[in-house]
Amino acid sequence: MRQTIFITGTSSGIGKATALYFAENGWNVAATMRSPEKNTDYSQYANIKTYRLDVTDIASITSAVDNAIRDFGQIDVLVNNAGLAVFGAFECATEGEIQKQVNTNLLGVMNVTRAVLPHFRQRKAGRIITLSSIGGIAAFPLFTLYHATKWAVEGFMESLHYELKPFNIKVKVIEPGAVDTQLTESTIESKSSTLQDYDQYIERVKKNLLNSNPTNYDRPIDIAKAILRAATDQGTKMRYPVGNANVILMLRRLLPLAWFHSFVSRSNGI
């Protein structure tokens, strides 16, 4: 019997690569996104079905989960992938930008996870795989809101993995570094029309980000392969750093904190 994976945020980037990779490896795929009517990339795959889901909309989550279970019989793996990043000085962020960041990256993960948990618990089986980031372990300038959500996701998932053990539900966290994806299209740049004190600082950091070599980025397919490893791994491993994230994690663990802070500052031209 084919296993079924339920993925959020599959219209592009990592989510899309994961949906296609799992389908090509014989899985049933419930590919969810906010506007499935605009996506025809999955029409040639008999084992992919698309569903409307907005991680900030409880009704759409419930409907997508129920319909996927109806269509495929069960869900074996949940992948919390949908997310966005707010870039800019924290003081410049609006209340709306703060809420959107938290509602999508943190509360969205909680919403979808809570919707799938009764199904997993009743079956006494299931895996929850959540896309975190190197940004959930180490912090970098001008991503204060993004880091706040990813560090929270790391703690949420680590705690959850203990309480779900009695139900044979495994919790896994994927930690990519820089990925060559459309994340930039899901990045909101926070700007203030009245506060210019951070402008020069922001421009220096942006210049270094834009000048970074994209050939050093991981590809979405690399992340999809890590997700498949997490979905099939029979061991107890919880965290799966991917590609260039391993270098940053090694430096974060081995260097004195002051040295690591200096490394991040120099790398960002500050």
The DSSP bridge partners found for residue 173 are 130, 239
- For the chain, how big is the Rg over CA atoms in Å? 19
Confidence of residue 67 (pLDDT cuts 50, 70, 90): very high
φ, ψ of residue 180 to 5 degrees: the values are -80, 90
Tokens of 178: 């820089």
Confidence of residue 261 (pLDDT cuts 50, 70, 90): confident
Check pLDDT > 90 for residue 193: no
**Which is the catalytic residue, given 49, 51, 133, 150?**
150
Q: Which CATH superfamily is domain 4-200+216-245 in?
A: NAD(P)-binding Rossmann-like Domain (3.40.50.720)
Check pLDDT > 70 for residue 103: yes
Q: State percent of the chain over pLDDT 70.
A: 93
**Which is the catalytic residue, given 132, 133, 170, 190?**
132
Check pLDDT > 60 for residue 265: yes
Is 146 in the active site?
Answer: yes
**Which is the catalytic residue, given 21, 146, 198, 240?**
146
Is 11 in the active site?
Answer: yes
SS3 (DSSP) at 39: coil
The amino acid at 88: G
Is 201 in the active site?
Answer: no
Q: Domain coordinates of the chain in residue numbers?
A: 4-200+216-245
**Which is the catalytic residue, given 11, 49, 172, 198?**
11
Q: pTM for this structure? A: 0.92
CA dihedral 16, 17, 23, 29 (to 10 degrees): -40
Q: State percent of the chain over pLDDT 90.
A: 68
Tokens of 60: 């759409």
pLDDT at residue 183 in the model: 45
Closest to 115 measured CA to CA, from 148, 172, 68: 68
pLDDT at residue 250 in the model: 85
Is 159 in the active site?
Answer: no
Which tens digit of pLDDT belongs to each residue from 195-231?
Answer: 888 888 888 888 776 656 566 678 899 999 999 999 9
Q: Which ranges constitute the DSSP H helices of 87-198? A: 95-102, 108-123, 144-163
Check pLDDT > 60 for residue 185: no
Which tens digit of pLDDT belongs to each residue from 153-165?
Answer: 999 999 999 999 9
